[in-house]
Amino acid sequence: MNEFVTAAPDSGLRRSQLYRKQQQAGAEFAGLNGATVVKQFAADDAQQLKSLAMVDLSMLPRSGFKGRQAPEWLTQQGVAIPAEPNRATRQEDGSLVASLSVQEHLILSDLQVTAGMSQQLANTWQMDADTACYSLPRSDSHAWLLLTGEHLRDMLAKVCGIDFAAEEFANHQVAQTSVARLNSILIRDDVQLADGSTVLAFHLLCDVSSVEFMWDCLQDAMDEFGGKPAGLAALLA
């Protein structure tokens, strides 16, 4: 498990675009893998995850690859590709690979930040005129939020037109849709908490330039259900 070292909100070589809003909300910050992240907002963050919470994962590793030969190249690197588009597959090291189309794939780190697949693939990839596979710098282009809790479906219904009922939207299904009128990627990926319980969860990725607007819209939608932001420590406990 990663150890948090308390840090100032504006310290570190990398920090989220949301850090000012998080600071205003009373967040406690820490260093993690060279980045500054929110450790916690409140002592009951772990309980908040069960009800309705939003966690900023934008400082965790992620990468993407696109092109006619991207599936072939990824398979050669040991990646288990989902059987069809708009599905995600958990990898042996804990990473999550989402297929956004036959030719485009997104790789997310595990929440414990112990999986190295995302960074390894980014380091291994080289421009090759004979291979139609191109690297997409998802850490630069997309912010990453995790939404959790029993009230999550009701909250999402306020900002997105997709039916997220369990029988309609299975675990590891992907939706490329509009959330709060912003183009977004939603990936259902239920999370097991430290007490052994499993909670409904969605990864939300949106354009990094719009993440402050997204954060405000989601907080507004969460208020009705008592939703609040939470820190990474509750997920890593």
Q: Write out pLDDT tens, residues 63-119.
A: 999 999 999 999 999 999 999 999 999 999 999 999 999 999 999 999 887 768 998
Of 23, 89, 25, nearest to 53 by C-alpha is 25
**Number of folded domains that form the chain:** 2
Cα-trace Rg, the chain: 17
Residue 168 CB contacts under 8 Å (≥ 6 apart), including other chains: none
> Tell me, what's the pLDDT at 194?
86
> Tell me, what's the pLDDT at 9?
83
| Domain at 43, CATH number | 3.30.1360.120
Phi, psi of 128 (to 5 degrees): -135, 120
Asked if 29 and 66 sit in the same domain, the reply is no
Asked if 179 and 221 sit in the same domain, the reply is yes
> Tell me, what's the pLDDT at 52?
98
Asked if 9 and 31 sit in the same domain, the reply is yes
Asked if 145 and 55 sit in the same domain, the reply is yes
> Tell me, what's the pLDDT at 2?
56
**Coil/strand/helix, residue 80:** coil
> Tell me, what's the pLDDT at 3?
66
Residue 29 CB contacts under 8 Å (≥ 6 apart), including other chains: 6, 7, 8, 9, 11, 19, 22, 23, 36, 37, 38, 39
> Tell me, what's the pLDDT at 131?
83
Q: Which domain holds residue 32?
A: 5-59+141-236
At which of 114, 139, 164 does a domain end? Answer: 139
> Tell me, what's the pLDDT at 1?
44
**Coil/strand/helix, residue 120:** helix
Give, in order, the Cα–Cα distances in Å from 210 to each of 38, 52, 192, 198: 19, 22, 29, 30
Cβ atoms of residues 153 and 219 within 8 Å: no
Place of tokens 């997310």: 108
Asked if 55 and 66 sit in the same domain, the reply is no
> Checking DSSP bridges between strand 198-199 and strand 191-192, what pairing results, if any?
antiparallel
> Checking DSSP bridges between strand 28-32 and strand 35-40, what pairing results, if any?
antiparallel
Asked if 130 and 158 sit in the same domain, the reply is no
Residues of the chain with pLDDT under 50: 1
> Tell me, what's the pLDDT at 27?
96
Hey, which bits of 114-172 come out as E strands?
134-136, 142-148
